[in-house]
């Protein structure tokens, strides 16, 4: 199986280049950087120790940021190469990476491109995030004998069943990792069944996330504009959820006067599609835009089509429904911890399979509210906005939950010390950490 996969991808370079060009024409790739995905690399490798951290998209990148910040604080002379595959995640990384870390696009899994990538960057260690396993790259890492760990590892039942059909490829791919740190016992069981030999459950790194940033000047501007209007937020929306938000607003505004509904789309480039969905004669619509225009007192739907401001709107709104949980694409869910950290009551639909364990735990501890249908969402928001005591309780339960597990990063770092210390003992990096203290932040 593995030689066949290698041969097919080896012969696929022209097709992969055409795919990149087509994605570029649709605005899904960076004009100046998309060829990084073919390992056409402009940056030089920095001198000294280089640790490579890879996460597929925004979710994995946010987990990686937690780890990168901790590593660079603990080992100040280290360099970190961060790779992701999506345009949105690249924009996020460029804004939030620390000074001694930098971003590159991950190359497509073509054997020559993989080899060129490894030869150029020559990483001293590899930290892979969550679940994206590319056979050619992982084989190259193993063949080059680069120390590697899989962090925040997760695996869906569907992926597990797929890997089970190709046991030799699964074993060869997973054996790349010297250590696999899993989110849950279920994930650990899947990896063990596929041949992993050194696994540990460390919980989900997202619990240790730094709270999303909130610009105080922007917050004050919005608060002055909104004054005492009741507000609810639909965060990180996908197709179908903007329509739900507008329909709910029509119903809620009949009982809750001056209501403001805020929509923060996951992908702001969908603004034309969203405008078409939300623009009707009976709703006043305002897009935030690059000028950060605040809503007027007559605007009913406020669409924050900007990047990097979700923390601002979680701070502004007392209650939020987390997107891609009632969407037309079957859902998957987005990170609810970010809302809980901002003292925001958390509501979500039932399609949160990508973060099922987090949502299940929050639901069981009354730190989040699961709704099955848009009607249930309407009933829940109505109840919270009309009952201040219930709203306050929902906010407090979410906040308390978010603070319980902030020490997950310390558990992960303890497991990484052998890799990092080996680099240190080889004289490549200096360490700046008190390993006797594992207290939660």
Host H or E run for residue 322: strand 319-322
Q: Is 60 marked active-site?
A: yes
Q: Buried b / exposed e across 79-102, counting CB within 10 Å, b at 16+? A: bbbbbbbbbbbbbbbeebbeebbe
Q: DSSP labels for 243-298?
A: HHHHHHHHHHTTTSTT-EEEEEESSGGGHHHHHHHH--TT--EEE-TTTTPPP-TT
Q: Token pair 């995030």 is at which residue? A: 129
| Among candidate residues 309, 303, 293, 251, the one with its CA nearest the CA of residue 273 | 303
**298 CB-contact burial (10 Å; exposed 0-12 / middle 13-18 / buried 19+):** exposed
- The rounded Cα 88 to chain-centroid distance in angstroms is 10
Q: Which phi and psi (to 5°) does residue 238 adopt?
A: -120, 180
Of the candidates 29, 60, 130, 338, the residue annotated as catalytic is 60
Given a contact cutoff of 8 angstroms between Cβ atoms, the answer to whether 68 and 101 are in contact is yes
Given a contact cutoff of 8 angstroms between Cβ atoms, the answer to whether 155 and 181 are in contact is no
Positions annotated as catalytic residues are: 60
């Amino acid at each position: 199986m593995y030689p066949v996969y290698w041969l097919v991808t080896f012969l696929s370079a022209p097709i992969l280049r055409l795919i990149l060009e087509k994605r570029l024409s649709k605005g899904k790739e960076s004009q100046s950087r998309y060829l990084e995905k073919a390992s056409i690399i402009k940056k030089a490798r920095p001198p000294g120790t280089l640790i490579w951290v890879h996460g597929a998209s925004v979710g994995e990148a946010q987990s990686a940021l937690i780890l990168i910040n901790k590593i660079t604080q603990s080992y100040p002379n280290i360099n970190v190469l961060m790779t992701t595959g999506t345009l949105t995640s690249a924009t996020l990384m460029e804004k939030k990476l620390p000074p001694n870390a930098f971003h590159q696009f991950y190359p497509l899994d073509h054997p020559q491109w993989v080899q060129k990538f490894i030869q150029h960057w020559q990483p001293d260690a590899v930290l892979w995030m969550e679940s994206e396993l590319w056979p050619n790259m992982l084989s190259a890492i193993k063949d080059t004998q680069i120390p590697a760990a899989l962090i925040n590892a997760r695996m869906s039942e569907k992926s597990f069943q797929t890997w089970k059909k190709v046991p030799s490829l699964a074993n060869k791919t997973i054996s790349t990792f010297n250590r696999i740190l899993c989110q849950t016992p279920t994930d650990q069981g899947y990896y063990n069944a596929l041949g992993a030999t050194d696994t540990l459950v460390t919980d989900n790194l997202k619990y240790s996330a730094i709270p999303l940033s909130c610009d105080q000047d922007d917050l004050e501007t919005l608060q002055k504009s909104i004054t005492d209007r009741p507000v609810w937020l639909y965060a990180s929306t996908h197709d179908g959820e903007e329509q739900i938000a507008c329909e709910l607003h029509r119903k809620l505004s009949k009982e809750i006067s001056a209501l403001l509904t805020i929509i923060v789309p996951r992908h702001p480039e969908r603004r034309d599609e969203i405008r078409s969905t939300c623009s009707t004669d009976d709703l006043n619509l305002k897009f935030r835009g690059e000028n950060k225009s605040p809503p007027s007192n007559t605007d009913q739907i406020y669409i924050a089509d900007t990047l990097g401001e979700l923390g601002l709107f979680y701070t502004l709104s007392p209650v939020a429904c987390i997107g891609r949980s009632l969407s037309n694409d079957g859902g998957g869910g987005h990170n609810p911890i970010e809302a809980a950290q901002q003292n925001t009551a958390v509501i979500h639909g039932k399609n949160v399979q990508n973060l099922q364990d987090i949502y299940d735990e929050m639901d069981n501890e009354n730190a989040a509210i699961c709704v099955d249908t848009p009607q249930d969402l309407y009933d829940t928001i109505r109840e919270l906005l009309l009952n201040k005591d219930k709203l306050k309780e929902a906010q407090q339960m979410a906040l308390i939950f978010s603070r319980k597990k902030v020490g997950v990063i310390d558990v992960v770092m303890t497991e990484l010390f052998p890799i990092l210390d080996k680099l240190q003992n080889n004289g490549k990096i200096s360490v700046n950490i008190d390993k006797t203290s594992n207290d939660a932040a």
